[in-house]
Structure 1
């Protein structure tokens, strides 16, 4: 089945086929398949089956099978209109998220085609720009359909909305939010010692879960705009040709291997890379993070291990130092696929500045602003979350904006 992102125009449907990486135009209805539309910050799924009946899924997975007669997503100069015909009655939903040129009249067909082509082409090309692939496996491995998240205390509304969206985008996956109350159900290690650093606890937990159960670890403050399989390129059998899937930043790419970001990690159960990484990091649990750091400093390859991190940040980035040691010591066994976060998860931060999140957070909170490029995944830092909560508390947001849907 095709998986197509759809936009309609003057009663027709313009789709981007992710399997063939091509634009398709359907003026007389759409072919059998499953389709996905990003509308008002929500992912809407439409399925046309062999009986020529539509199935319409919103975020709550509510389905209409027999009564849904027509679906049109139409672009006007003021935004999107989604028209749904049920039993000869039309329901109309409007979004002011605008990807057109803001003129007083709708774009012409060719002009809109080019505009949408640029939008989709940018999204796909950016996501795969500077894709790092190392030591591709001959035989694919299946990644378990688990998504792991962690939030120490009672999660705020933002985190609950993120988890809910993950559930809607990833049917068939088991999504588990780990906290201090249920953590002992998944590991025998005591990760709640009074003096344990929360960052160190989280770093250990993600490796323990991935090694023992497999799947994907995603930091709870990560926004996803499509499915995990679409982000990572997994096939319909959840197979990969790599032991580790993740993201990297160009500024932390030196020597032959990148430093893979720990906020998004995917691996099969029992992964060699994850196992060795966990083995090194566990030394800090039995002694102390400071003791492990001193041991790493004695390593003959420490100049490579430390990557671009400064002396004062070594303890904070201890998990990354351990990762780099494993990458160097066992390089011949490494099998890694890493997407460049500069073009996806950190796109807005790199474009608008890391030290001042106001510009891009306000952009995502305002429906009047034009969002030409929406990455498949967006990583929120603590500063981003703090600003989000401030804007939410002061009610300085548009309800139908991208981030407004997380309120």
Structure 2
């Protein structure tokens, strides 16, 4: 038995490395999969607020996040862009019910739903790197109240995909966002938010393949409210866009950095946007901090003022 485990330990990294090389040479599916739920033509007259919300609260400078925010400003000049942190967020959101012992990720989840409930607009994580403007959002949300990405990995029912929360576009007075917020608020204001959804772990008919009910509580909250009521939502699969490179290269930071920092951007796939997860973000940030990248690469070619960090609004 020990020999089998040892063999797996040796073989697994080799397998994933070979798979990444194969996909690097022969490509990977770029097919976008859209899901349109309960389209409502009456919503076409409801204006979509051209507001972008970004929250970043870190004492350490992050060169990748600075480039991400620079891209937003460059590609979305017609949007009102607000950069928030723990100090100025209270000007926009009431956090009086929140226990500040919550993790940064959970606090950020609460903030995004509270902002979209009150103001509408676009929430995007600070580690989202835009490669296009947001016209595609404005076009697709026209007859819907909400546009977001879904997780290919956690979705069993392709007609009712599992929501992700790193990019959400929403109109004001939005039933789905309101109900999602209220459900999630019950969780985060409970005596133990991280055990609040433990009874849903095996309820695959509701949460499908969400793996961590003690971490992805915002995902669970969305699926709970969707199981009780129909909403007008448009989804795009993250595998073809935000998480394309994570799927293609099995979340291998070296391969992702190689394609986005050291290859000419004209020779690699440029999705609408790229979502950098925390482990990959740290990996790429080290290269950027050292100035080790190709200026013609996807990330390296982004316009950026090297002398300063981003400013709050």
TM-score of the superposed pair, with normalisation by structure 1: 0.62
Equivalent runs, 1:329-368 vs 2, <5 Å: 329-331=228-230, 334-354=231-251, 356-367=252-263
- Measured in 1, the distance between the counterparts of 2:67 and 2:268 equals 24
Correspondence 1:252 to 2:158: no
> Which structure carries more relative contact order (alpha carbon 8 Å, separation 6+)?
2
- Measured in 2, the distance between the counterparts of 1:368 and 1:191 equals 48
- Measured in 1, the distance between the counterparts of 2:294 and 2:97 equals 40
- Which of 372, 385, 389 aligns to 2:285? It is 389
Please name the residue that 2:204 is paired with: 303
- Measured in 2, the distance between the counterparts of 1:283 and 1:228 equals 32
Q: Secondary structure at the match of 1:158?
A: helix
Q: Secondary structure at the match of 1:200?
A: helix
- Which of 30, 48, 68 aligns to 1:162? It is 68
- Measured in 2, the distance between the counterparts of 1:342 and 1:242 equals 22
TM superposition shift of 1:273: 0.2
- Which of 273, 277, 291 aligns to 2:176? It is 273
- Measured in 2, the distance between the counterparts of 1:158 and 1:307 equals 33
TM superposition shift of 1:291: 5.3
- Which of 275, 289, 293 aligns to 2:193? It is 289
- Alpha carbons of 1:267 and 1:365: their partners in 2 closer, same or farther (altered >3 Å)? same
Q: Secondary structure at the match of 2:65?
A: helix
The structure where helix makes up a greater share of residues is 2
TM-score of the superposed pair, with normalisation by structure 2: 0.79
Query: Is the 8 Å Cα contact of residues 265 and 297 (structure 2) preserved in structure 1?
Result: no
Equivalent runs, 1:9-158 vs 2, <5 Å: 126=30, 129-139=32-42, 140=44, 141-154=46-59, 156-158=62-64
Deviation string, structure 1 residues 161-217 (Cα, Å, up to 9, x no partner) = 322221221122101111011011001223764411212101111000001000010
Deviation string, structure 1 residues 102-138 (Cα, Å, up to 9, x no partner) = xxxxxxxxxxxxxxxxxxxx9xx946x2211111012
Q: Secondary structure at the match of 2:93?
A: coil
- Alpha carbons of 1:192 and 1:247: their partners in 2 closer, same or farther (altered >3 Å)? same
- Measured in 1, the distance between the counterparts of 2:264 and 2:179 equals 49
- Measured in 2, the distance between the counterparts of 1:372 and 1:188 equals 43
For this pair of structures, how many residues does the alignment match? 271
- Alpha carbons of 1:174 and 1:193: their partners in 2 closer, same or farther (altered >3 Å)? same
- Measured in 1, the distance between the counterparts of 2:237 and 2:166 equals 13
Query: Is the 8 Å Cα contact of residues 246 and 266 (structure 1) preserved in structure 2?
Result: yes
Query: Is the 8 Å Cα contact of residues 63 and 289 (structure 2) preserved in structure 1?
Result: no
TM superposition shift of 1:381: 0.6
Query: Is the 8 Å Cα contact of residues 293 and 314 (structure 1) preserved in structure 2?
Result: yes
Q: Secondary structure at the match of 2:57?
A: coil
Query: Highest Rg: 1 or 2?
Result: 1
Q: Secondary structure at the match of 2:115?
A: helix
Q: Which runs of 5+ in 2 are unaligned?
A: 1-27, 307-313
Please name the residue that 2:5 is paired with: none
- Which of 139, 143, 152 aligns to 1:234? It is 139
- Measured in 2, the distance between the counterparts of 1:290 and 1:166 equals 33
- Measured in 2, the distance between the counterparts of 1:228 and 1:388 equals 25
TM superposition shift of 1:252: 2.0
- Measured in 2, the distance between the counterparts of 1:404 and 1:368 equals 9
- Which of 281, 290, 295 aligns to 1:399? It is 295
- Measured in 2, the distance between the counterparts of 1:215 and 1:370 equals 31
Please name the residue that 2:19 is paired with: none
Q: Secondary structure at the match of 2:154?
A: strand
The structure where strand makes up a greater share of residues is 1
Q: Which runs of 5+ in 1 are unaligned?
A: 1-121
Deviation string, structure 1 residues 275-333 (Cα, Å, up to 9, x no partner) = 00111111123323145325x549xx9332232123xx2110111111000111113xx
Please name the residue that 1:212 is paired with: 118
- Measured in 2, the distance between the counterparts of 1:369 and 1:168 equals 17
Q: Secondary structure at the match of 2:300?
A: helix
Q: Secondary structure at the match of 1:240?
A: coil
Q: Secondary structure at the match of 1:246?
A: strand
